[in-house]
Structure formats: structure tokens, C-alpha cells
Amino acid sequence: MALAPHNNQDLSAEDAFNVLQEVLALTTLIHTKAYQDEWDEVIELETKRRTLITACFAQTLPDHMAEKFDNAITAIVNMDQEVMALGTQKMTEYSVELQKLDYGRKAVKAYNE
């Protein structure tokens, strides 16, 4: 996966769309990794994705590219919403587990006193 040029003004509309396709590919991978409960990889991929997003939207895009961008962005947003829901669910699960550990710790402490 190639990163965009460092100078964002060097991107043409077609180059920006190609970068957006890379963002879409990374988003798909993030989505898959979230469903596989591989959150460390999700975080790493998200960092790479943010760099590409910044490059992609650094300039004004011509009107003839609007529909292409709209379709890709819609797919990205939909997958992002699912990943965020999975993340929220996982945080809730971890919170419940931490509460159980805390209750267990308190029980052991009370028993030992």
C-alpha cells in the first residue's frame, strides 16, 4: 500500500481518489480485524489510515469526482460505525470483567482480614 506524497498539494484529483481507495481498503481491513477481536492491529491500522485521510482531503476536489468520493466515503462511514459499536461492546465486556475481578479482590481481602 503506497502512501501519498508528503506535499499534499502534489495530489491530483485522480491521485486523491486512489488514496481514498487505499483508505477504503484499510477501513475494510480494520473492520475485519475488529470482528476478529484484534484490537491492537485495529489501532495500528487506524494510525496509518489517518495519514492517508489527511492527504486525501488536503485540496478541493472537482465536481466530476463527487459521486466517486461520496460512494467510497459512505462505505467507510458505515464500516466505521460498525467498528465503533464493536469497540463499545468490547469496552463494556472489559468493564464487567474488571468489576468481577474487583469483587473477587475485595472478597479475598475481606476473607483474609
Q: Which three cell numbers stand for residue 75?
A: 462505505
Domains defined for the chain, CATH in brackets: 11-83 (1.20.58)
Q: Is 60 left (phi over 0), alpha (psi -120 to 50) or beta?
A: beta
- The SS3 call for residue 4 is coil
pLDDT tens, per residue, the chain with 113 residues: 444 444 445 678 888 889 999 999 999 999 999 999 999 999 999 999 999 998 888 777 788 888 889 999 999 999 999 999 999 999 898 888 888 777 777 777 777 87
Residue 77 CA to residue 16 CA, distance in Å, equals: 18
